[in-house]
Chains A and B, each alone.
Chain A
């Protein structure tokens, strides 16, 4: 019994320690973020941010778009299979539109980016730790947070909400493809219905979530990378841990934000 209690206590302390490190990392990254800004910051950091935007955002667009199309089609089919029984096929449109803008778009984008770029961030920083490049930055009087983390964070904060919008559009478009083949509904009418079912709050809540998810993915990826000690096998472990932890934290954060929007929107 004592062992069990000890293990639970130790595990809890480890998790709290991790969250504490994430919070410290967030504070340091936000402070370093100003150096990446285009006019007032350092132009080399801004250039590094653009490169990161291409890697995190532009390169991920086809994959996110395709995933959104598949998910939109699936959601429309699953919705229709039940709603058809109540002759409520028209409700498939708000289901897809609201479902994507509020929930599926931000979450799907975050999971795709976490697997694609979160792992790349962990691997890159982990390798820099192993090859002493991070130490080199420090002894060259550079702040690794400013040099390595801030451009990635700025890139993620800009591109992940944009990717979320792309994801929403693709998902909603896939919903129309299903509706076209099952009810011959025209695109104009479908879009009008979809827009009528949405309110600004749906879009804003989705974008707020995507900003939070972007922060989680970059910070967890960086923290796992910086925690690499030893050789190349540690880089592999950190990469896996980075994806698993960021996906888990994204889902926890999603639940947290959904609860906030649910309770604040009730009245």
Chain B
């Protein structure tokens, strides 16, 4: 059964069409990776999936409720079942790590403070930050900040976990650790995971299915094997890392070569 359904989603900014009639079904319990290059429309799709923007037309249904048309109270109820880890981690700098994780529990539940404390510790331990609760975000490394934001996203035991560019700005080792953490979370908590990324290695490590986005449309939606076997030129270009603009680079290269050989430089 689909937990997320995107139907004929159209998004425009100032008359420029960014998403052109997208259709996507995400099954409960699967890891769906939204893959695409810069400007493909990944971030716009993510913002619409989270109800941060209203599309020009189309619908985004989460657990059967169209979040593009529902009331704010209904939207907030849906949002409590979604955990989000943003690209910049977006931890609140004025709060310690454990206060960041405890925030939603304190405000949205009536749990006793001792239970909240225990729950926060469990969430921090599940991302390997059990001893970092008292630290402030500015005292953490990039990888630790990302993991702290995952712990905060897990606070209300969401059914859907969304990651925006989880590997961005991280070295390959920390990025791989984060991929393993996503796989572990899925195994342990049995949740639906949506990941927006342009990192191929990460996408192919964690995905059950991949939706390949190009200029506001899906080129293909399928398993890793189906995407790898695709002969679509844009997918092949992305997977084989073929640059788009070869000629201007060559022109620039020859210009520099000429300049380096000129008498002004060689003198």
Contacts and interface: CB of A to CB of B under 8 A. Distances in A.
Interface of A: 42, 44, 131-133, 135-136, 138-142
Given A136-B86, A139-B52, A44 B92 contact: no
A140 B86 contact: no
Nearest to A136: B90
A131 B79 contact: no
A139 B158 CA distance: 12
Given A141-B108, A142-B107, 19 more contacts: A42-B107, A44-B106, A131-B90, A133-B90, A135-B47, A135-B52, A135-B86, A135-B90, A136-B92, A138-B50, A138-B79, A139-B51, A139-B79, A139-B82, A139-B84, A140-B84, A140-B103, A140-B104, A141-B76
B88 interface: yes
5 contacts: A44-B107, A131-B88, A132-B88, A135-B50, A140-B103
B80 interface: yes
B2 interface: no
Is chain B's interface secondary structure helix, strand, loop, or mixed overall?
mixed
B175 to A, nearest CB: 19
Nearest to A51: B94
Contacts of B230: none
Interface string B37-63: 000000000010011100000000000
A80 B86 CA distance: 63
B87 interface: yes
A136 B80 contact: no
Nearest to B155: A140
Contacts of B80: 141
Contacts of B52: 135, 138-139
Interface string B68-80: 0000000011011
B66 to A, nearest CB: 17
B90 A132 contact: yes
Interface residues of B, number: 20
A80 B80 CA distance: 66
Contacts of B88: 131-132
Interface string B85-121: 0111010100000000001101110000000000000
B209 to A, nearest CB: 23
A160 B86 CA distance: 37
A223 B90 CA distance: 21
Contacts of B103: 140
B33 to A, nearest CB: 19
A140 B82 CA distance: 8
B48 to A, nearest CB: 12
Contacts of B107: 42, 44, 142
B79 A140 contact: yes
Contacts of A44: 106-107
A138 B49 CA distance: 13
Contact of A132 (B51, B82, B87, B108): B87
Centre residue among A132, A135, A138, A141 by max chain B CB count within 10 A: A141
Q: Which of B51, B103, B106 has the most CB of A within 10 A?
A: B103
A100 B19 CA distance: 58
A3 B186 CA distance: 60
A44 B77 CA distance: 21
A131 B89 CA distance: 8
A142 B80 CA distance: 10
Contacts of A138: 50-52, 79
